[in-house]
Chains A and B, each alone.
Chain A
Amino acid sequence: MYRGKSITELRSLLDSSEVTAEELFSDANTLAHRFQEDYNSFVTILDTMKYKKRDSLLDGICYALKDNFSTNGILTTASSNILKDYVPVYDATVVRKLKNAGAILLGKTVLDELAMGGTGTTGHTGVVCNPWDKKRMIGGSSAGSCACVALGIVPFSIGSDTGDSVRKPAAFGGVVGFKPTYGRISRYGLFAFASSLDHVAMFTRNVLDAAIVTDVLKGKDPHDMTTLANDEKNYVSLLNQDVKGKKLFYVKEICGIDVMEQSDDLELKETLARFHEVLDNIRKEGFEIEEVSIRKELLEAIYPSYMSISCAEATSNNSNLTGILFGPRGEGDTIEEIMFDARTKGFSEFIKRRFVLGSYILQKENQEKLFLNAQRVRRMLVDQMNQFFQKYDAMIAPCSGGPAPYFDATSEKLSDRYLILENHLAIGNFGGFPSITLPYGFVQDMPVGLNITGRVCEDDLVLAIASHIEEITGMKDLYCKVGE
């Protein structure tokens, strides 16, 4: 009954007492159960609500939380067998903030195991399906969080974004995915994948809602040294700031006309053609858009560098998963044996491969070539972006070369295909730039998304630009009406 409504819409219904928080929760809970079998958004659906009324825009609003955020007393598995029975004893900072804002947790959502992956297919409780087409993936790793917003079950959900884990699935699900500046939102309680790249991010169905959620979540946290001081800005009220004449750029090698013309992939052609149409419309509304060029070799280095840095950090970050103090205890006669057994049984093959790769990269004799060179590429790309940001306010790009892939289309094996267009969003993580995905159209009846990435700390400007583009495309408050 309240399916598909945005935070803003639900707010006014709550404020005018047309609905109660209890009714909203019960409605969302019913929807969650109804779509669980087909789409598998959730690891855990909560059937009782925990709620204290607060004076906040999020008061009484239900949300879903990726199952890699620590929730006191609520199972948190990171969609991995190694944590399948883990019940945390503390709340992540975002969870605490949402509680304090009166938001109501509906459930914990499925992710790619330990957030390492981009398909939504590797969670220990099964595959997450795309609401727009069950034969396609929703993308990952924040798969369940995206699916439940795309299904209209909740108006917003929390995810984490290390390479594109919110912004890519958002594109595939036809919703908004926003990753603020690194350090804007505390990571305390987010199970680390790659600490220097991990961001707390969110799914909403419009840009205004993303601003509302960010206003609640942002701020300095004494538990996270990497958090930024409060910027004393209200992103909601800054959404309407004047963005006329703002300068955007797109990178020729990522999404220029050449890429379209040189490809024989019809999906890609259509996706890019639609993107350039949108660019024209945006120009008409007073934005300046120019094409810039980045060395192709540098762009092709994004993915391997991302793999190198993220796998290296991940190997270390997940060394705490030994089954000694938490998680299923392994069998054996020595402590080494029980750790070995717990980890052998607890991680899927895919995760193990990433860990071996990451640890190889960190070996003394390989660090220079594999790890430090990746970190050098990171700096080169970030420096390049910052150079552009001296002249331009934001980068605009399509999130992918097409709509969500079919399940059998790609495997998680490393491959050379679509090296640039499918992986460029990691630039946002390399530099910690605020970066937002919003739908810009449909290709083959599936939503496609574009991305705006701006200067570090200028979250308000990125949101404002996105909000104006949202008006121009008219692609707002989308959700998949399947089952209605």
Chain B
Amino acid sequence: MYEAVIGLEVHCELDTKSKNFSSAPNFFTEEHNTNVATVDIGLPGILPVANKEAVRKSILTSLALHCEVPNEVIFDRKNYYYADLPKGYQITQNTKPMGVHGYLDILVGKEIKRVFIHDLHLEEDTASLEHYSKYSLIDYNRSGVPLMEIVTEPCLSSADEAVTFLEDLRDIFLYLGVSEAKSNYGQMRCDVNISVKKKEDSTLGTKVEMKNINAFGDVRNAISYEIERQTALLSKGEKVIQETRRIAEDGKTYSMREKVDAIDYKYFIEPNIPSTPITNQELLELKQQVPVLKLERYLKYIDEYFLKEEDAVLFSKNRELSDYFEEVLSKGADVSLTVNFMTTCILSTLNKLEIFLKELFITPSMLSEVVKLVSSDKMSLDAAKKLLYEAIDAKKDPMELVQKKGLNQINDRDVLSKLICSLMDQNLEVVRQYVEDGNMSAVNFFVGQTMKTSNRQANPNLSREIILEELERRSDKNGS
């Protein structure tokens, strides 16, 4: 009878060469204060210069999340004093975020849930602080790293939904190539706002905030714990206190401080960054760069390709794999054979060689040709796999190998009959076992022999068919 209302604020560091408002390098390093420009430490006289790529990546994400994108780029200042904020203000977007009113559909269990996005804005990360027992140390490397913040409406209702949303969001970042989104590097972090109310109540309960949670597992624990804690309080008729809590290693949340009145950040438009227009043309081009996303692909794989659940999940999760898969299919390859090849040969090779798909020598069109060898019965599945591994090792086009080695399948009935008859003549004892005792293992024996003798080129199905016919023929002869 109680339900939770959860909203998320997700921060994601964008993958760019330089920082958001300075041309200092943007990469993680243990060397303190080495990626720092005048702008990043707020020296007197500095001016921010906005990064085009950070803007592009945030608009791209905004479009992928079905947001409305403004017609100009402008930034605002968010003013507050803190040790990790050298300018005394953070440049962010308040007046015109890169996107508003968006949504992302996620699959929770078997249900599609629409998560509404309040806004997506581009801002800058702060410096990092290391705390020691008697003092803290400031490293400005992270100061000014482009940071994208995605704020959901308070529309999630469980830890499952929240974590699925976060995972799907991360997959989108990876799909779009906007961020590596490694939560262990803090590249993706999340604030959770959560309240609990009676189902029938129309007003929201008292909100608890939990800030800067990196690991998705912690998000799950924090939400589960809070739902339990707040529900217990309410059922006892007690009140939930509006406060900020943190998640500890024991999976429980602890109060950090009670919320006094909200901080007034005194937002105003950043006067040093003139408005730059976002033209319809630019928007159109960016829209074309947004790929079909995970859920849509997953549903297609299930509904149109009839993939098994686990295969559909596997292929849709990673854009590279999914694109590859779809490209193989687009060349006319059979779906289930393609899945077979990819889940075995391709993925095992990637694992074994520890390489990315894009580094693999076998292109989708090469794989589709191999698949077609099997589906058109020109080659057995086994032989085709063997061929593929050989091609990977030799870094050769498999079809080149086929031509060179004459690896094509033997489908000629007469050729196979002749071969099979001679094999039976050499193994009369086995024929007798079939004829007299009806021992079916004789069939498999001759299929094996046929494959072996033909250097695996015999069409196994056709061979089996001929073997059965020949054995029956010899039985009839025997009986008559």
Contact = CB atoms under 8 A, between A and B. Distances in A.
A388 interface: no
Interface residues of B, number: 29
Contacts, number: 104
Interface in B41-64: 41-50
A358 B14 CA distance: 34
Interface stretch (A85-93, A120-128, A423-431, A450-458): A85-93
Contacts of A196: 271
A223 B46 CA distance: 8
A325 B271 CA distance: 24
Say what secondary structure dominates the interface of chain B. loop
Given A316-B88, A316-B268, A364-B266, A335 B83 contact: yes
Contacts of A315: 79, 266
B144 to A, nearest CB: 13
A69 B273 CA distance: 20
A86 B43 CA distance: 10
A480 to B, nearest CB: 31
Nearest to B273: A225
A132 B46 CA distance: 36
A468 to B, nearest CB: 33
A322 interface: yes
Given A319-B81, A362-B268, A371-B268, A191 B44 contact: yes
Interface stretch (A151-159, A182-190, A282-290): A182-190
Contacts of A83: 44
Interface string A348-379: 00000000000100111001000100000000
Given A90-B38, A188-B46, A225-B48, A320 B88 contact: yes
B86 interface: yes
A76 B45 CA distance: 11
Contact of B89 (A319, A325, A363): A319
Contact of B43 (A88, A190, A367): A88
Contacts of B50: 225
A189 B45 contact: yes
Contact of A76 (B44, B48, B274): B44
A180 B354 CA distance: 61
Contacts of B81: 319, 322, 336, 339
A76 B47 CA distance: 17
Contacts of A359: 266
A359 B77 CA distance: 13
A196 B268 CA distance: 12
A320 B143 CA distance: 14
A188 B86 contact: no
A312 interface: yes
Contacts of A363: 264, 266
B96 interface: no
A187 B271 contact: no
B44 A225 contact: no
A78 interface: yes
A195 B272 contact: yes
Contacts of A70: 43-45
B11 to A, nearest CB: 22
Interface in A65-79: 68-70, 76, 78
Interface string B389-411: 00000000000000000000000
A320 B42 contact: yes
Contacts of B49: 222-225
Among B43, B44, B47, B138, find the residue whose CB has the most chain A CB atoms closer than 10 A: B44
Interface string B74-108: 00010101010011110000000000000000000
Contacts of A78: 44
Nearest to A312: B268
A389 interface: no
Contacts of A92: 45
Given A316-B77, A362-B266, A363-B266, 14 more contacts: A69-B45, A90-B43, A92-B45, A195-B47, A195-B271, A196-B271, A225-B50, A315-B79, A324-B83, A336-B81, A339-B81, A359-B266, A363-B264, A367-B268
21 contacts: A69-B45, A70-B43, A70-B44, A83-B44, A88-B44, A88-B45, A190-B45, A192-B44, A223-B49, A224-B272, A225-B49, A313-B268, A315-B79, A316-B77, A316-B88, A319-B81, A320-B42, A320-B87, A321-B44, A322-B81, A359-B266
